[in-house]
Amino acid sequence: VKNNLRESSGHSDKVNLEVIRPMPLEKVEIFKYMEDWASDNILTLLKPVEKCWQPQDFLPDPASNGFLEQVKELRARTMEIPDDILIILAASMVTEEALPTYQSRFNATDVLCDETGIDSTPWAIWTRSWSAKENRHGYLLNKYLYLSRRVDTRQIEKTIQYLIGSGMDLGTGTNPYLGLIYTSFQERATFVSHSNTARLVKKHGDIKLAQICGTIAADEKRHESAYTKIVEKLFELDPNETIMAFADVMRRKISMPGHLMYDGYDQNLFVNVSTVSSRIGAYSALDYIDVMEHFVDKWKVEKLTGLTSDGKKAQDFVCGSKNEKAGGEK
């Protein structure tokens, strides 16, 4: 039965089984204290729905008399896109479509959770609004690739179902310090990936698809700004716990949200997609290092003071890792 369940979900045994350090209970008050600040500095980053772009802004209009001609033009544009780029676009879309998993992870996180589904805390409001904005990304890429006829739509749909059914092992547990640092990294990584994909697509002549990838990248950049600000505030209020969380995230190495991706055939699908991504310049190990170094500098980790002995060890680890990576690139 166990094997059958694993096969039906696509779930691998390769998950993070390390014990994750929970957030000390007294730290809840820090997040309570931050609520007014979050309302003034984080929720203000949210655009009203009426001012947001929608997927239909970039797609052929089914109500238009020229719909079929628009679809024909879309297909002509995508004919020149190499298969490797389409693989990355499909994988990005599958990852974006697994949004239900990401929101459920937030709702399983201490303090950040939306207990009733309509909580009025700034953390709950942000999570719902963030999810609503992110929901457009997968939808848009899905429809564009569907209309292109360049991908196996049913196989992609199966992969999405497998991924949502498999869940996601981030190594952050219910600890909001870990979760927020992870998400800061992930939003920046996604921004980099979509930006690079936009450049690759533009090179092959599909300006509209390049615009789509660039627009999604801009959204990810805005979300990165929000999560980065929250962690920045945590470093200000609680540098010791925050630097230890940062070190924990780095020690575990950051897993991408789609790391359990499976299509019913390839148990190493995510690894194989990552290889393609690195080869064509969409996202690589060097980008991973750049993102990590960005946050070490952004959060001024080297300048932290007043740390406990454990905090200093975490600081040394984070800064040492950065210097080690930098030295290896020379």
List, by residue number, the catalytic residues: 53, 96, 134, 137, 187, 190, 219-220, 223
Check if the beta carbon of residue 154 is closer than 8 Å to that of residue 160: no
Angle at 156 between CA 187 and CA 214, to 5 degrees: 35
Check if the beta carbon of residue 59 is closer than 8 Å to that of residue 144: yes
Tokens of 72: 């024909």
Tokens of 261: 């991706």
- Closest C-alpha among 178, 188, 187, 193 to residue 16: 178
Cβ-Cβ contacts under 8 Å for 73 (sequence gap 6 or more): none
Tokens 């190990």, residue located: 285
Check if the beta carbon of residue 86 is closer than 8 Å to that of residue 151: yes
Q: What is the DSSP string of 111-136?
A: TT--SSSS--SHHHHHHHHHHHHHHH
Q: d(Cα 273, Cα 265) in Å, to the nearest integer?
A: 14
Q: Calculate the dihedral angle through the C-alpha atoms of 152, 153, 154, 158, rounding to the nearest 10 degrees.
A: 100
Q: d(Cα 97, Cα 161) in Å, to the nearest integer?
A: 9
Collapsing DSSP to helix, strand or coil, 81 comes out as coil
